[in-house]
């Protein structure tokens, strides 16, 4: 074989190798970019969830102890009155927060769906609270509901001296101030979800209902709202998740008080883990919260995947 032919063969092999490298990079560049963040999430999210889960089966206090003790912390957890108070508060707060936010968000979406003047401004006003953190929301509502600074003080200044609104310092009513602040922040987000769904409803069906003489209220109740079942379900899942993990709103608004009257499970977990040096007990409460979230998320994901599978 001549030297020219050998040189051509080497050049062809080099070109082929370069093409393979380019093909490999084209198909794997996205994986290389995502790999570091995937590894970090695997370690610092799922790794610490696994660590918390194991710690909940130990007698860890100030420092972790890795000897397995079974359900000791869970039995201890469910014997503590503050944990029962936190669970009761979560039921009250979560139930009212979810129901009122969905109803109010749905009504606001129906209102804006009437193509009223100034819809863009109203939509921005309703959505704005979701753009701020729960810490800011809690601080603002703490000022508004404070008997010495907010609504009560304003009414007294206007001459209504018998007016009282002291829910913030009332142990029986403090948890409802969390509902007020939470609904104020989340209802605009729910409205946006419903409004997007309403704009996607087939207008031909609505026109046909109008021609048949159906009223606007009957069209929404019988035709439109039943088609929005996925939005109701998505809203329920998102709001449930927000309610279960609520921590900063409580800290900023009530501090969990008076006493334990407005404490939620997340605040109980923080108190036990970082202030009372009961790491095992705090881990057990965290796992109970995780189990509650999973009890809501898993059926939702299963139903979504099942619908996609069956078209």
pLDDT per position in the chain (311 positions), as tens? 566 666 677 777 777 788 888 888 888 888 888 899 999 999 999 999 999 999 999 999 888 888 998 899 999 999 999 999 999 999 999 999 999 999 999 999 988 888 778 778 888 888 888 888 889 999 999 999 988 888 888 888 888 888 888 888 889 999 999 999 999 999 999 999 999 998 888 888 888 888 888 888 888 888 888 888 889 989 999 999 899 989 999 999 998 888 889 999 999 999 999 999 899 999 999 999 999 999 988 888 887 777 766 65
Residue 143's contacts (CB-CB under 8 Å, 6 or more residues apart) are 149, 150
Q: What pLDDT, in 10s, does the model give residues 86-104? A: 999 999 999 999 999 999 9
Prediction pTM value? 0.84
Torsion (CA) 145, 148, 150, 151 in degrees, nearest 10 = 90
Rounded distance, CA 195 to CA 175, Å?
Answer: 30
Q: In this predicted structure, what is the pLDDT of residue 1?
A: 54
């Amino acid at each position: 074989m001549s030297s020219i032919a050998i040189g051509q063969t080497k050049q062809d092999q080099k070109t082929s190798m370069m093409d393979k490298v380019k093909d490999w990079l084209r198909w794997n560049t996205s994986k290389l970019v995502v790999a570091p963040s995937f590894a970090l999430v695997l370690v610092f999210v799922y790794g610490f969830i696994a660590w918390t889960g194991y710690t909940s089966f130990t007698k860890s206090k100030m420092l972790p102890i890795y000897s397995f003790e079974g359900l000791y912390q869970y039995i201890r957890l469910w014997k503590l009155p503050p944990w029962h108070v936190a669970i009761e508060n979560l039921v009250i707060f979560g139930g009212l927060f979810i129901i009122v936010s969905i109803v109010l968000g749905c009504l606001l979406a129906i209102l804006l769906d009437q193509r009223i003047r100034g819809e863009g401004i109203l939509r921005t006003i309703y959505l704005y609270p979701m753009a701020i953190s729960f810490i800011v929301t809690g601080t603002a509502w703490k000022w508004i509901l404070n008997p010495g600074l907010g609504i009560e003080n304003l009414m007294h200044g206007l001459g209504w001296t018998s007016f009282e609104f002291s829910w913030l310092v009332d142990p029986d009513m403090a948890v409802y101030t969390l509902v007020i602040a939470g609904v104020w922040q989340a209802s605009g987000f729910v409205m946006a979800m419903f409004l997007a769904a309403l704009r996607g409803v087939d207008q031909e069906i609505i026109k046909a209902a109008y021609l048949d003489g159906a009223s606007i209220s009957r069209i929404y109740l019988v035709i439109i709202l039943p088609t929005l079942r996925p939005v109701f379900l998505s809203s329920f899942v998102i709001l449930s998740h927000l309610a279960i993990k609520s921590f900063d709103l409580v800290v900023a608004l009530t501090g969990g008080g008076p006493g334990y009257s407005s404490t939620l499970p997340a605040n109980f977990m923080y108190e036990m883990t970082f202030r009372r040096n009961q790491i095992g007990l705090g881990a057990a409460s965290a796992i109970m919260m995780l189990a509650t979230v999973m009890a809501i998320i898993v059926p939702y994901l299963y139903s979504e995947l099942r619908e996609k599978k069956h078209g």
